[in-house]
């Protein structure tokens, strides 16, 4: 690891000031940041540890909105009973992520900004990686192993997959992110936070240098209560999703009034499947319509070598998640 | 007191381990110690054309950067598969040649571990890059024996084609298994300190004598000038058996900088600087009559090896011992690719071959229409099918009967896909487990005091299995002392000879030497006390005095506890070196073990075939929507001779089965084909089972008496548990889904 300066400001203005400097990076729980520093992928000159900014802690489960401070821990939120009832998709996507140790260390602000697990990105022995080393090429697409890569949203420059779970719930339920930076405070729709790789896969979000995520807000909607996060993975815990779905249903009798679907483990950024949602609205939710929605969610998928299975798996996971959400919406669970 | 054997004794080293006071090799801090770090090659095949070390040298704290051009007095040893003590025959940093990805190219020494690692990151290398192949080409395979001859690597009995022709049903199938890495929790490390011509090496090791002998010979030093110390080992599984480059580089580096140096190999580097389980192809052609009785048995194993070694871990030697068949053909083949040399990994001959064998038997049973357990029963045999000697003991079907009953095998409906539980498809599968009983020479010294203490010393190792405890138990039982009064000292090459801890031999071989030392002590004490004028045994013929659970007994009912008799001797203390030399051990084998090698007699001797057996049953659930595969129940019954400690044995068997779940469903070292690098060289991405994957695991240990294997009647259990698990799970997946998956690991991607 390269030596670096360490700052731990106690007020947000000082944190922004320190974080806007060239070579400075923000540090929250460090489970992504320190990991990548140890293996030499990231070499910041300075770390700005924001964990003393107590105003970014905590969260609130309100009746029309749920708000999270950027420093709320994955574990405390994932284990919250009131939230489990109000918005199961939020707690489920958190406690099915990573391991208990990681969830205790990691903060929600860091969580949504976690990095891809592309093995070529993580191994500096590969000179080729447009994300780590802009313009160098892509080892994954140059004959490499692509079974863990994005089948939606990738580009010729990069097919890295966004691996996080919680972000799928946020994108499905119209969350917003609040920030403070050198240019002041702003509110960003969560769906706009991450940007597609295109020709510039090293640019991952619309955040500016020194801009600190202060919180996350999720509006309370009918579909949020009858929501579910289904995560398919080869081992029961402590594994990234092979495919996942964050879904919710608001039923009017037998008719779907509102449907939310986002799919994880398959796309370059948190991925809302709007066409699949639309296919359900105004109709009944049956095993058949659920399966059809799953298929539609993957209609545009471009499989890579080794990841063909994700199209069928992903569709099945969407359908299975919808069946659980339906049971929740109709009092069946 | 006698009941210290075959009971559940808690590990004597447990308090030290859980309180952090057990001193592992890397806990030692010689005065003035510096830290080492390896820089490794990014390419797999080619030549180093330039190595820029200037940035590393300029890094604060860096003391030296050593390369193939600047490292003085670096010595190497012959590879294991060429008859030497090394992990491989090719040694990095002897020249610019690169033969595998992750090959050490420079060694940085610094004042702190952080500076050394940073220095290693700052080294930049340029190469002339060749084209590597990381996967073997099974079509380009060859037969070879361990020492270059092909003796025993091909077996033919009867006529395999005739056997297939007369069969009512046949299978002709191929199974593949991937590269796997041991991933012991304790990192690889080596700490070396030179004092003049005397060298001390602290290193977690499965074979301190192999290390000492190899290092002393390499540096042309008398063995008395080299100390090798490895008191505890945090998991080894075969990965800490030989002398690796990181050891010899650390020794050379310590010499070069004139200070002790410690190297802790990083987790990603652990994937390339030592051994692994090579990938393999298992081909089976089996034929059976209408009752399932085998008419033909053919197994061809093709295993991967490096370009510079021939890794022969002959799995066909084990599979051919399993079932009776009039016609048998086996072949042991290798195919080369561009990796470091593989080696032993828990059940190195058995795990992958039984994934093939036991699925092939299941496939054949399914075709014939007999129950899979019955399939094993009709083919059970009390003689080795090829060598034609009886088994010293074989309780395979007792294991099946025991496990079937506890598991509820009779509830299985034969049709695949016929059992469900809510959204889950349910399958039951079974498989045979076995492990050969290896026999190696060993010594052990026992010193007993009339005050009631004993000290047991030998150059064996506790690789986390419980050896400290079972040696204390054996001595306690023989000498009539509490287990806590028997102190065991191990893990130093200067102690009496004991074999390499591998092949599940330590308890049987070294344990038998401890047993023998205790008998010698009894004889010595008896000789002295019978010569005295007073005492319960005075005047007896010492040859007529026997030791019985710590009590010396005369022919006429006279008796005296050994410890009391000892207290009455002149010195009040006695010391003896015990020996284990099984009649099947030839001089050559004994000498091989004394030289730090692996001189095993067995599993087949001219008189008997010696194997431990087991039967495993798995219940598998496959989810309707996610296709996830889970193992809610895994049961195993095992018969392995005398069980010395029911607690540590249970842990070994259970641990093997848990690892088997990983082998079946999780473990694979992913590879990047074009550049021949391992892609998931860390324990976040190299999946092994977590607690949630391990639900009900039940282990039964059956009583079995075997007077031939060794005086204790012990067969090895360290590897037995893993052997049948992957096949039992694969068979259960087939039963649940109707899909036959012939490759490891089995993933949900295979089931969508
Ligand atoms: C082995 C392993 C397994 C994992 N498994 C899963 C999994 O199954 N599912 C899953 O979803 N995740 C998983 N993760 C990822 C894990 O959830 C993230 O590493 C974690 O949530 C990051 O949070 P942190 O607080 O540690 O972030 P840090 O590491 O401190 O920061 C991460 C990134 O966010 C930036 N950052 C942090 N906070 C802010 C802020 N307030 N404003 C602006 N920028 C900020 C940092 O600069 C950095 O770029 C796993 C991680 C590991 C190491
Ligand atoms: S997919 Fe993206 S992150 Fe992975 S190697 Fe290619 S450019 Fe780098």
Residue A286: enclosing H or E segment and its boundaries? none
Pairing of strands B696-701, B629-639: parallel
- Whether A311 and A245 map to the same domain: the answer is yes
What is the tens place of the pLDDT at every residue in A252-301? 999 999 999 999 999 999 999 999 999 999 999 999 999 999 999 999 99
Question: What length is written for chain A?
Answer: 333
What's the CA gap between A95 and A112, in Å, rounded? Answer: 14
B111 contacts chain A (CB < 8 A)? no
Residue A319 located in a structural domain: yes
Structure confidence at residue B3 (pLDDT): 73
The closest of B309, B384, B322, B317 to B349, measured between CA atoms, is B317
- Whether A240 and A258 map to the same domain: the answer is yes
Residue A65 located in a structural domain: yes
Is the separation of the CB atoms in A289 and A283 below 8 Å? yes
Distances (CA, A) of B369 to B361, B377, B617, B718, B737: 12, 14, 19, 35, 18
- Whether A104 and A204 map to the same domain: the answer is yes
What's the CA gap between B554 and B330, in Å, rounded? Answer: 55
Distances (CA, A) of A121 to A47, A74, A116, A160, B42: 21, 25, 8, 9, 14
* Cβ neighbours for A272, distance < 8 A, ≥ 6 positions apart: A171, A172, A191, A261, A262
The CATH architecture annotation of domain B440-594 reads 2-Layer Sandwich (3.30)
What's the CA gap between B44 and B134, in Å, rounded? Answer: 9
Selecting from B626, B673, B745 the residue whose C-beta is nearest the C-beta of A143 gives B673
Q: Mark residue B473 as left, alpha or beta (left: phi above 0; alpha: psi -120 to 50; beta: remaining).
A: alpha
Size of interface A-B (CB pairs under 8 A): 103
Interior angle at CA B659, CA B658 and CA B664, nearest 5: 100
Residue B723: enclosing H or E segment and its boundaries? helix B720-723
Across the interface, whether the CB atoms of B630 and A144 are under 8 A apart is answered: no
| Coil, strand or helix at A100 | helix
| Coil, strand or helix at A169 | helix
Question: B523: which 2 tokens?
Answer: 């004889």
What's the CA gap between A52 and A269, in Å, rounded? Answer: 30
Structure confidence at residue B149 (pLDDT): 60
The closest of B369, B266, B323 to B613, measured between CA atoms, is B323
Question: A70: which 2 tokens?
Answer: 């950027």
- Whether A284 and A187 map to the same domain: the answer is no
Interior angle at CA A253, CA A250 and CA A254, nearest 5: 90
Residue A140 Cβ < 6 Å to ligand 2: yes
Mean pLDDT of chain A: 97
Interface mutation target, options B134, B691, B752, chain A, most CBs of A under 10 Å: B752
The closest of B302, B297, B299, B298 to B313, measured between CA atoms, is B302
End-to-end CA distance of chain A: 50
Cα(A266) to centroid(ligand 2), Å: 15
Neighboring chain A residues of B679 at a CB cutoff of 8 Å: 119, 123, 145
Residue A164 Cβ < 6 Å to ligand 1: yes
Structure confidence at residue B150 (pLDDT): 64
What's the CA gap between B254 and B257, in Å, rounded? Answer: 5
Write the CATH number for A201. Answer: 3.30.465.10
Write the CATH number for A318. Answer: 3.30.390.50
Cα(A110) to centroid(ligand 1), Å: 4
Across the interface, whether the CB atoms of A237 and B691 are under 8 A apart is answered: yes
Interface mutation target, options A40, A313, A324, A326, chain B, most CBs of B under 10 Å: A313
Is the separation of the CB atoms in B110 and B62 below 8 Å? yes
What's the CA gap between A255 and A276, in Å, rounded? Answer: 15
Q: Which residues pair with B453 in a beta bridge?
A: B449
What's the CA gap between A271 and A275, in Å, rounded? Answer: 12
- Whether A263 and A188 map to the same domain: the answer is no
Selecting from A125, A142, A236 the residue whose C-beta is nearest the C-beta of B677 gives A125
Cα(A199) to centroid(ligand 2), Å: 12
Is the separation of the CB atoms in A143 and B131 below 8 Å? no
Across the interface, whether the CB atoms of B687 and A237 are under 8 A apart is answered: no
Pairing of strands A255-264, A271-272: antiparallel
Q: What share of chain A is helix, strand, coil (3-state, %, to 5)?
A: 30, 25, 45
Question: B151: which 2 tokens?
Answer: 């003796």
Alpha helices, DSSP H only, in B271-413? 316-319, 351-368, 372-378, 396-407
Alpha helices, DSSP H only, in B278-412? 316-319, 351-368, 372-378, 396-407
What's the CA gap between B470 and B716, in Å, rounded? Answer: 13
Structure confidence at residue B1 (pLDDT): 42
The number of distinct structural domains making up chain A is 3
- Whether A72 and A100 map to the same domain: the answer is yes
Write the CATH number for A15. Answer: 3.30.43.10
User: Cβ atoms within 10 A of the Cβ of B700, count?
Assistant: 18
Where does chain B hold its CATH 3.90.1170.50 domain(s)? Answer: 32-131+185-235+240-271
What's A208's DSSP letter? Answer: P
Residue with tokens 């002709």: B172
* Cβ neighbours for A291, distance < 8 A, ≥ 6 positions apart: A315, A316, A319
- Whether A103 and A208 map to the same domain: the answer is yes
Structure confidence at residue B452 (pLDDT): 97
Residue A310 Cβ < 6 Å to ligand 1: no
- Whether A290 and A177 map to the same domain: the answer is no
Q: Which residues constitute the domain of residue A45?
A: 5-52
For chain A, give the percent of residues with pLDDT over 90: 99
Q: Which CATH number fits domain B138-180+277-437+605-751: 3.30.365.10, 3.20.20.70, 1.20.1510.10, 3.10.300.10?
A: 3.30.365.10
**What string of DSSP letters covers A206-255?**
SPPTT-EEEEEEEE--HHHHTEEEEEE-SSSSS---SEEEEEEEEEETTE
Residue A154 Cβ < 6 Å to ligand 2: no
Is the separation of the CB atoms in B371 and B365 below 8 Å? yes
Residue A155 located in a structural domain: no
In this prediction, residues A123-143 reach a mean pLDDT of 97
What's the CA gap between B267 and B120, in Å, rounded? Answer: 15
Cα(A111) to centroid(ligand 1), Å: 4
What's the CA gap between A235 and A252, in Å, rounded? Answer: 37
Residue A119 located in a structural domain: no
Give B627 to chain A, closest Cα distance, Å. 8
Is the separation of the CB atoms in B699 and B396 below 8 Å? no
B632 contacts chain A (CB < 8 A)? no
Task: Identify which of A15, A18, A19, A32 to mutate to test ligand 1's pocket (most ligand atoms within 8 A of the CB).
Answer: A32
Neighboring chain A residues of B691 at a CB cutoff of 8 Å: 237
- Whether A91 and A103 map to the same domain: the answer is yes
Could you report the predicted ipTM of this complex, rounded to two decimals? 0.96
* Cβ neighbours for B495, distance < 8 A, ≥ 6 positions apart: B445, B457, B458, B459, B489
What's the CA gap between B725 and B653, in Å, rounded? Answer: 11
What's the CA gap between A75 and A99, in Å, rounded? Answer: 10
**Burial degree of A10 (CB within 10 A; 0-12, 13-18, 19+):** exposed
Residue A158 Cβ < 6 Å to ligand 2: yes
* Regions of chain B with pLDDT less than 70: 1-2, 146-150
What's the CA gap between B521 and B513, in Å, rounded? Answer: 12
Helix axes B351-368, B646-665, angle to 10 degrees: 70
Structure confidence at residue A331 (pLDDT): 86
Question: B605: which 2 tokens?
Answer: 């001797």
Question: A154: which 2 tokens?
Answer: 């990738």
Selecting from B101, B671, B690 the residue whose C-beta is nearest the C-beta of A236 gives B690
Residue B664: enclosing H or E segment and its boundaries? helix B646-665
Residue A114 Cβ < 6 Å to ligand 1: yes
Where does chain B hold its CATH 3.30.365.10 domain(s)? Answer: 138-180+277-437+605-751, 440-594
Q: Which residues pair with A189 in a beta bridge?
A: A176
- Whether A39 and A68 map to the same domain: the answer is no
The closest of B616, B605, B596, B590 to B502, measured between CA atoms, is B596
Residue A131 located in a structural domain: no
User: Could you tell me which CATH class the domain B32-131+185-235+240-271 is placed in?
Assistant: alpha beta
Q: What is the pTM of this model?
A: 0.97
Residue A140 located in a structural domain: no
Helix axes B646-665, B725-737, angle to 10 degrees: 50
């Amino acid at each position: 690891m390269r030596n670096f300066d360490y700052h731990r400001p106690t007020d947000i203005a000082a944190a922004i000031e320190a974080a806007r400097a060239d070579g400075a990076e923000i540090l929250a729980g460090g489970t992504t940041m320190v990991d990548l520093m140890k293996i030499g992928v990231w070499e910041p000159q300075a770390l700005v540890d924001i964990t003393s900014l107590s105003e970014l802690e905590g969260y609130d489960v309100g009746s029309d909105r749920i708000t999270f401070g950027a420093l709320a821990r994955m574990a405390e939120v994932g284990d919250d009973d009131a939230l489990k009832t109000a918005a199961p998709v939020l707690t489920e996507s958190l406690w099915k992520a990573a391991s208990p140790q990681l969830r205790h260390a990691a903060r929600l602000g860091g969580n949504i900004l976690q990095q891809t697990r592309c093995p070529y990105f993580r191994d500096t022995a590969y000179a080729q990686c447009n994300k780590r080393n802009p313009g160098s090429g892509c080892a994954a697409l140059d004959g490499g192993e692509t079974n863990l890569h994005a089948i939606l949203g990738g580009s010729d420059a990069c097919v890295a997959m966004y691996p996080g779970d919680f972000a799928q719930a946020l994108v499905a339920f119209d969350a917003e992110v609040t920030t403070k930076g050198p240019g002041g405070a702003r509110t960003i729709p969560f769906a706009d936070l991450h940007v597609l790789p295109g020709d510039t896969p090293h640019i991952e979000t619309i955040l500016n240098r020194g801009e600190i995520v202060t919180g996350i807000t999720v509006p309370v909607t009918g579909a949020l209560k009858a929501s579910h996060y289904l995560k398919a993975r080869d081992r029961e815990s402590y594994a990234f999703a092979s495919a996942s779905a964050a879904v919710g249903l608001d039923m009017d009798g037998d008719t779907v009034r509102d449907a939310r679907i986002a799919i994880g483990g398959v796309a370059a950024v948190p991925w809302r499947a709007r066409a699949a949602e639309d296919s359900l609205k105004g109709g009944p939710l049956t095993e058949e319509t659920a399966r059809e929605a799953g298929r539609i969610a993957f209609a545009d998928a471009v499989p890579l070598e080794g990841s063909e299975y994700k199209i069928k798996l992903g569709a099945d996971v969407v359908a299975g998640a919808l069946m659980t959400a339906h049971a929740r919406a109709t009092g069946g669970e | 007191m006698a009941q210290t054997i075959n009971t559940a004794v808690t590990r004597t080293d447990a308090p030290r381990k859980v309180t952090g006071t057990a001193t592992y090799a890397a806990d030692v801090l010689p005065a003035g110690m510096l830290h080492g770090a390896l820089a490794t090659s990014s390419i797999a095949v080619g030549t180093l054309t330039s190595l820029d070390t200037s940035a590393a040298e300029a890094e604060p704290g860096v003391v030296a950067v050593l390369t193939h051009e600047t490292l003085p007095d670096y010595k190497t040893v012959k590879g294991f598969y060429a008859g030497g003590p090394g992990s491989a025959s090719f040694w990095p940093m002897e020249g610019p040649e690169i033969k595998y990805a992750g090959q050490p190219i420079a060694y940085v020494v610094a004042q702190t571990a952080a500076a050394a690692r940073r220095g290693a990151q700052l080294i930049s290398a340029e190469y002339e890059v060749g084209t590597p192949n990381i996967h073997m080409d099974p079509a380009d395979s060859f037969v070879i024996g361990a020492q270059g001859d092909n003796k025993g690597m091909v077996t033919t009995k009867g006529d395999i084609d005739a056997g297939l022709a007369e069969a009512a049903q046949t299978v002709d199938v191929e199974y593949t298994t991937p590269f796997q890495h041991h991933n012991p929790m304790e990192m690889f490390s080596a700490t070396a300190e030179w004092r003049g011509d005397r060298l001390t090496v602290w290193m977690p090791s499965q074979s301190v004598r192999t290390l000492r002998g190899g290092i002393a010979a390499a540096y042309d030093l008398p063995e008395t000038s080299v100390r090798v110390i490895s008191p505890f080992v945090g998991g080894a599984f075969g990965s800490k058996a030989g002398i690796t480059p990181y050891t010899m580089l650390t020794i050379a580096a310590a010499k070069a900088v004139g200070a002790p140096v410690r190297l802790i190999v990083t987790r990603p580097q652990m994937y390339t600087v030592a051994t692994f389980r090579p990938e393999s192809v298992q081909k089976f052609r089996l034929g059976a009559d209408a009752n399932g009785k085998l008419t033909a048995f053919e197994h061809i194993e093709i295993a991967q090896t490096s370009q510079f070694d021939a890794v022969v871990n002959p799995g066909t030697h084990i599979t051919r011992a399993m079932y009776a068949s009039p016609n048998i053909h086996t072949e042991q083949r290798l195919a080369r690719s561009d990796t470091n040399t593989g080696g032993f990994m828990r059940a190195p001959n058995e795990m992958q071959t039984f994934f093939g064998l036991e699925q092939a038997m299941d496939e054949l049973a399914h075709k014939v229409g007999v129950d899979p357990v019955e399939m094993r029963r009709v083919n059970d045999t009390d003689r080795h099918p090829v060598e034609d000697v009886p088994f010293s003991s074989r309780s395979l079907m007792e294991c099946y009967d025991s496990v079937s009953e506890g598991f509820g095998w009779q509830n299985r409906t034969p049709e695949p896909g016929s059992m469900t539980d809510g959204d889950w498809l349910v399958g039951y599968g079974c498989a045979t487990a076995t492990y050969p009983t290896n026999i190696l020479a060993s010594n052990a010294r026992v010193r007993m005091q009339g005050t009631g203490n004993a000290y047991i010393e030998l150059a064996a190792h506790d690789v986390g299995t419980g050896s400290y405890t079972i040696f204390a138990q054996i001595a306690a039982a023989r000498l009539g002392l509490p287990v806590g009064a028997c102190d065991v000292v191990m893990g130093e090459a200067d102690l009496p000879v004991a074999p390499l801890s591998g092949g599940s031999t330590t308890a049987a071989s070294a344990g038998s030497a401890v047993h023998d030392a205790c008998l010698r002590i009894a004889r010595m004490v008896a000789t002295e006390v019978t010569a005295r004028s007073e005492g319960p045994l005075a005047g007896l013929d010492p040859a007529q005095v026997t030791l019985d659970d710590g009590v010396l007994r005369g022919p006429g009912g006279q008796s005296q506890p050994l410890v009391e008799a000892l207290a009455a001797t002149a010195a009040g203390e006695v010391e003896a070196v015990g020996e284990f030399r099984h009649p099947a051990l030839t001089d050559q084998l004994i000498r091989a073990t004394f030289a730090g090698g692996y001189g095993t007699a067995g599993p087949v001797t001219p008189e008997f075939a010696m194997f431990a057996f087991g039967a495993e049953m798995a219940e598998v659930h496959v989810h309707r929507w996610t296709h996830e595969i889970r193992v809610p129940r895994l049961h195993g019954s095992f018969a392995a001779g005398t069980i010395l400690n029911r607690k540590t044995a249970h842990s070994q068997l259970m641990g093997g089965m848990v690892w088997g779940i990983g082998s079946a469903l999780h473990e694979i070292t992913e590879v990047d084909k074009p550049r021949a690098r391992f892609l998931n060289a860390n324990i976040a991405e190299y999946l092994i089972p977590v607690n949630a994957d391990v639900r009900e695991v039940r282990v039964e240990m059956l009583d079995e008496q075997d007077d031939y294997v060794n005086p204790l009647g012990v067969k090895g259990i360290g590897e037995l548990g893993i052997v049948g698990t992957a096949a039992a799970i694969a068979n259960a997946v087939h039963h649940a889904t109707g899909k036959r998956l012939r490759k490891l690991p089995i993933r949900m991607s295979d089931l969508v």
